[in-house]
A and B are shown apart, each in its own frame.
Chain A
Amino acid sequence: MKKDQRDVSVLLFLKTRNQDVVIGKLCSRKQFLPHEIIFEILSWLPAESLLRFKCVCKEWYYLIQDRDFIKKHLSRTPLLMVYDEDERAGLSISGTIQETFTRIDHVSGVILEKGDLSHNYRIRNPITRQILFLPDPHKGTVEISIYRCQSTYEFKLVSIYRDKKTSGMQGFEVLTIDVDDKWRSLKLPGSQECRMNLEILRKTHKAIYYDDGTDFYGDVYCLDVETECFFINTLPQGLFSDLSKVLAVDWDGCLAYADIVEEKLNVIVLEDYRKHRWSQRKIIVPLAFLREIQITDDNFLAPVIFHSNKLYFLLLDDKLFVYDIQLRKITETNPVSWENKSLYTMRHSLVTFKDMQPEKIPPATDF
């Protein structure tokens, strides 16, 4: 009998900041969920389901392409391990050349790709199947990274070029997607018009870290992408006995240096690159699983990322291990490459940019 009371029209109140706001009327036994709860439920769904549910009704359609929703969804999307897709064929910017593209970087579900023939750069979201062609970077570009700013949610590209005309001088350029229509040059700190050989050491969600490949663990150039400023940091001396065994690790977004000695991982973290602050002590992680893996001199085990209590290790070029430091066991093992496609971690997202267009895969030609 009590249950039937719900059949009578009941006003549904929702508490928002000490105010009771009437948000809906329940007229039958069926429960109707308010907008904010639909938002919560949909934010847990895989991106592909969301594309399908865009045609449930107009409210859902607008919700699913809402910026705040896309952000929330991204924050709840699991990190996946994926292999590169088969060769990506597509039309070049002019629409005439048919060529393949190769992945060079990725962030938040979008992939930065380079044309194998034209050297055009484009961004592709493999879930929404949309692409955006980018303006040409400086001649002699050697490396481009794509980065998402944490607070502004802007996406930026950073490139390094080596200018052949000026005897290999190095320069940086930056481009904010949806804002800039041209690359802007980026100043290095000091006046030294870069005679160095900076290359990417690690890209994390907090910064892009560069160092001089020829100088063994010298200065690290930490690019704060949001403010477009470099901060130079130096690894304190005497922390590691053999620098040739030290590796750079993405430690929850911070840069860290680590080595493995006697089944223990020793880590020094650059906690704040703006204040040049390194962790006081070495973090020591016991690695019980090392006993089970045959380590010889030529299959080197390298820590790569530490993220939400999980450590990702590469065993030379062979396998990737995910080690849970709380459970103290390996939770996942994957071959690093499979049928010549390499493994990488990424999230599937609905991230989209202003001038993105549907990716047109040219129809297969019959002969």
Chain B
Amino acid sequence: MSSSIASSSSSSSSSSKKEKKISLKTSDGEVFEVEEPVAMQLEIVRSFFADNEDVTEQTVMPLPNVSTAAMHGILEYCRAHEEFRRRMPEAAPEEEVRAFEAGYVDRKSNEELKEMILAANYLNISKLLDFLTGVAAKRIENKSVEYVRAFFGVENDFTPEEEANLRREYEWAFEGVDED
């Protein structure tokens, strides 16, 4: 259903008639045809094509750790940034970038966000990874310890006494925490 986005979201890239495309295959078998400058933002793709001489334009690069859903999100971000770069090669239009980024993550659930962080890390897109980890931080900064454990799926391995001691040691850091 959603696969149409893969080819249509590049509508903004002009004169795409004979633009070089790179084929990327996600974990669930979907092949994305991605414009070269966008695909090259994925460091793992860039080094794959730089290091292997025998790959051709027909090569489909498998990305077994990236789901189709995460790939849509990744490409939306990379295409937007390529567009900003194309329009203003010198300095990015900061306010526009910020507006895009804010709208971009507002639509993502916590689970989707984590999935994209894993994908951005695997694909080695440091700019996106910094951005997404920053977003995750913003989502937890005022939350309780219990909320954060649930967010990350982390088990509490302190004894009740140890935990109580830590809470006492930094009691001022537990004031003014948001409701879960």
Residues in A lying within 8 Å of B, measured CB to CB: 2-3, 5-6, 10, 12-15, 29-33, 36-38, 40-46, 48-49, 51-61, 129, 326, 358
Instruction: Find the B residue at minimum CB distance from A38.
Output: B152
A51 and B154 contacting across the interface, CB-CB below 8 Å: no
Q: Are B28 and A5 in contact (CB under 8 A)?
A: yes
Is B158 a contact partner of A58 (Cβ separation < 8 A)?
yes
Which residues in B have their C-beta under 8 angstroms from that of A31?
A: 111, 114-115, 118, 153
Minimum C-beta distance from A192 to chain B (A): 49
Residue among A41, A45, A58 with the most chain B CB within 10 A? Answer: A41
Residue on A nearest B91 in the bound complex, by CB: A326
Number of B residues contacting the other chain (C-beta, 8 Å)?
A: 46
Nearest A-chain residue to B117, judged by Cβ: A37
* Residues in B neighbouring A3, C-beta threshold 8 A: 67, 69
Given A33-B152, A40-B133, A129-B172, residue A52 in contact with residue B177 (CB < 8 A)? yes
User: B174 near A52 (CB under 8 angstroms)?
Assistant: yes
Q: Which residues of A contact B10 (CB under 8 A)?
A: none
A41-B133 in contact given A6-B67, A31-B114 (Cβ < 8 Å) = yes
Q: Could you tell me the distance between the alpha carbons of A57 and B162 in the complex, rounded to whole angstroms?
A: 10
B23 close to A (CB within 8 Å):
no
Among B32-40, B53-61, B72-80, B139-147, the one that faces the other chain is B139-147
The verdict on B108 contacting chain A, using a C-beta distance below 8 Å, is: no
Chain B residue numbers with a CB within 8 Å of A29 are: 111
Complex interface: chain A residues within 8 A of B64 (CB)? 13
Given contacts A52-B177, A53-B148, 15 further A-B contacts (CB under 8 A): A6-B67, A14-B121, A15-B122, A31-B118, A32-B153, A40-B130, A41-B137, A48-B173, A49-B142, A54-B170, A55-B145, A57-B154, A57-B155, A58-B158, A60-B154
CB distance from A194 to the nearest CB of B (A): 45
Q: Does chain A have a CB within 8 A of B136? A: yes
